[in-house]
Chains A and B, each alone.
Chain A
Amino acid sequence: MPAADVVQALATAYGATEAPLGVAVPADRLIEALRALRDRHGYRYYVLSTAVDRGDDGFEIVHLVRNLDAGDDLAVRVALPKDVPEIDSAAPVYAGADWQEREVLDLFGVAFRHHPDPRRILMPDDYEGHPLRKDFAMDTPWGYRPATRDDAGKDA
């Protein structure tokens, strides 16, 4: 569980609020908050970044960082609007965010400002669309439709 004093410090300095597994920060304070975590609070190890598509509520970007000495994980999340998902890259702070953010860019279509190498990473370079978005069409030309969320609860 994230240390309470770190959450408190982030709340006073960067307007962070408590959120599942860590804190939520305003989009424009993200890089400052990450830098403080790395330099002042000992969260020097980068674990993952990912995104969650919340439908009409836009996207959520999650950075998970770790304090190896305290053995403590902290998730820093940012809410992004659906129409212009764009955010500062964490790669200048944590080198490990480089590929992880490229994956988010590739699969969610979130743009990262100041990213050192903003290219697709898993899908082909000329691919259109972002597969992990919830509105990505899953109907395939050969007529097979995988089960969807609406089938939940219907008996097999």
Chain B
Amino acid sequence: MPEIEVVEREFGELALNMGPQHPSTHGVLRLTLHLRGETVVRAIPGIGYLHRGVEKLSESLAYDQLAPVFERDDYLGPTANSLAYCLACERLAGISVPPRGAWVRTLVAELQRISSHLVWLGTLGLDLGGALGGGTTLYMYCFRERERILDFMETLTGTRFHTNFNLIGGARYDLSPEAAKAAVALADRADAMLSELHAMAGDSAVFRGRTEKVGVIPRELALQVGVTGPVLRASGVRFDVRRAAPYDAYPELEFDVPTRETGDALARYEVRMDEIAQSARIVRRIVDRLPPGPVFSRKPIKNPKATRIAAGEIHAAVESPRGELGVYLVADGTAFPYRLKINAPSFRNLQIVPHVAPGLLLADVIATLGSLDPVLGDVDR
């Protein structure tokens, strides 16, 4: 059992278990909070409640069977998981991806980034609750917009969440002209949607009061702990895998990497909102310049165990909605990975909690946690 230090019963330190069944922990996160009054003295995260042993499982599934399994990890941005895995296999085995395949993969990834950020903002609204219209107002507006993206995913792939879109060597489905039109329509909504959401969140004095100067992560600490994605960029580090190690269509796309200097919950909010605008811009550009041709470079896969990857090691990463998602793959020449490690962004971001929580008010811990956007499926794998 995690050790809980002796707790004075009267007027002293109080140990409070938040979770694993708690609506504001975004899944099954357990936080043991040591409180003095309403101020947190110490926070001990407990994870593993959603550990499904995906890394062990991947050692007994063939390469072509694995991409859909990984989509279950980060269930708000599923294709990012399978994309990192597919990139690792493609780079190690020297499998090419046709240009059109790479571009549609990027399009789906960016739309899912928008949809994931919308869930994040909606649930942050629920966490902050209270004066934000009980929180449900913001939540409903976010989910209304996300619904359109899910509908798009359904017309494109037949499924709304776990799209099984990425394959080693390309994409499973092609983008029809109608679907392309629908994607542009989604991107064109972004501006109106963002100003609506800003009016409810970022421009609201209540929202600012709950997030400004709350859960500040200084730049040095962010680097030391190795947080990633919007959390890192909100602390003033301009690092984005799409820029640093571009994959798929990103080398040919123009986009900005939004950053903020303050490192508080509000900065993380602003970074994510700016990212939505950038993702919309990327989607429009992709549809504009989508190259013709096939989307998949290999023959149809009939026997997954026939795919073998020569011995070698590789680390491939993508920028998932939550940050850098890496796959460390060790192949030994057989049809199964010898060792596969998923370096999950939520896992790395959650590590910051014990560092920033001391000194915060209990309610601010919830705001901080919400602004980190952990997905427990991604943390525990």
List A contacts of B330 (CB < 8 A): 52
Q: Which of A47, A52, A152 contacts B335 (CB under 8 A)?
A: A152
**A121 CA / B308 CA spacing, docked (Å):** 33
Interface size class of B (residues with CB under 8 A): 35 or more
List A contacts of B314 (CB < 8 A): 21
List A contacts of B144 (CB < 8 A): none
Q: Does A141 contact B (CB under 8 A)?
A: no
CB proximity to B under 8 Å, residues A133-156: 136, 138, 146-149, 151-156
**Segment at the B interface, from A5-13, A27-35, A78-86, A122-130:** A122-130
A50, A62, A122, A151: residue with the most chain B Cβ atoms closer than 10 Å: A122
Given contacts A48-B341, A121-B48, contact A99 B328 (CB under 8 A): no
Q: Does A110 contact B (CB under 8 A)?
A: no
Contact A50 B328 (CB under 8 A): yes
Contact B328 A64 (CB under 8 A): yes
List B contacts of A154 (CB < 8 A): 305
Q: Does B294 contact A (CB under 8 A)?
A: no
CB proximity to A under 8 Å, residues B298-315: 303-305, 308, 312-315
CB proximity to B under 8 Å, residues A1-48: 20-21, 44-48
Contact A96 B60 (CB under 8 A): no
List A contacts of B239 (CB < 8 A): 45, 68
CB proximity to A under 8 Å, residues B355-381: 355, 380-381
**A45 CA / B323 CA spacing, docked (Å):** 14
**A62 CA / B315 CA spacing, docked (Å):** 11
List B contacts of A131 (CB < 8 A): 53, 56
Chain A residues bordering chain B, tally (CB within 8 A): 43
Contact A147 B225 (CB under 8 A): no
CB distance from A35 to the nearest CB of B (A): 13
List A contacts of B328 (CB < 8 A): 48, 50, 62, 64
**A125 CA / B48 CA spacing, docked (Å):** 10
Contact B226 A151 (CB under 8 A): no
Task: With CB as the reference atom, state the residue of chain A lying closest to B347.
Answer: A99
Q: Does B12 contact A (CB under 8 A)?
A: no
**A45 CA / B303 CA spacing, docked (Å):** 41
List B contacts of A113 (CB < 8 A): none
Contact A156 B303 (CB under 8 A): yes
List A contacts of B200 (CB < 8 A): none
Given contacts A71-B244, A146-B60, contact A122 B335 (CB under 8 A): no
Bitwise, A63-101 to B at CB < 8 A (1) or not (0) is 010001001010100000000000000000011101100
**A96 CA / B239 CA spacing, docked (Å):** 17
B59, B237, B303, B312: residue with the most chain A Cβ atoms closer than 10 Å: B59
List B contacts of A120 (CB < 8 A): 48
Contact B339 A53 (CB under 8 A): yes
Given contacts A131-B53, A152-B334, contact A20 B313 (CB under 8 A): yes
Q: Does A114 contact B (CB under 8 A)?
A: no
List B contacts of A46 (CB < 8 A): 224-226
CB distance from A28 to the nearest CB of B (A): 24
Contact A151 B48 (CB under 8 A): no
Contact A121 B47 (CB under 8 A): yes
Contact B305 A71 (CB under 8 A): no
Q: Which of A21, A64, A73, A122 contacts B51 (CB under 8 A)?
A: A122
**A105 CA / B127 CA spacing, docked (Å):** 34
**A121 CA / B328 CA spacing, docked (Å):** 20
Contact A125 B223 (CB under 8 A): no
Contact B303 A155 (CB under 8 A): yes
CB distance from B50 to the nearest CB of A (A): 9
Contact B351 A152 (CB under 8 A): no
List B contacts of A124 (CB < 8 A): 48
List B contacts of A98 (CB < 8 A): 351
List B contacts of A50 (CB < 8 A): 328, 339, 341, 343
Contact B48 A123 (CB under 8 A): yes
Contact B326 A48 (CB under 8 A): yes
Contact A47 B326 (CB under 8 A): yes
CB distance from B223 to the nearest CB of A (A): 5
Given contacts A123-B51, A132-B56, contact A152 B305 (CB under 8 A): yes
Contact B224 A96 (CB under 8 A): yes
Q: Does B2 contact A (CB under 8 A)?
A: yes
Given contacts A153-B335, A155-B303, contact A132 B55 (CB under 8 A): yes
Q: Which residues of A contact B (CB under 8 A)?
A: 20-21, 44-48, 50, 52-53, 62, 64, 68, 71, 73, 75, 94-96, 98-99, 107, 119-125, 131-132, 136, 138, 146-149, 151-156
Minimum-distance CB pairs A-B, first 4: A96-B226, A122-B48, A46-B226, A50-B341
* Residue contacts A-B, CB under 8 angstroms, 20 given: A21-B313, A45-B223, A45-B226, A47-B324, A48-B326, A48-B328, A50-B341, A53-B339, A62-B328, A68-B239, A95-B224, A96-B226, A122-B51, A125-B2, A146-B60, A147-B62, A149-B60, A152-B62, A152-B308, A153-B305
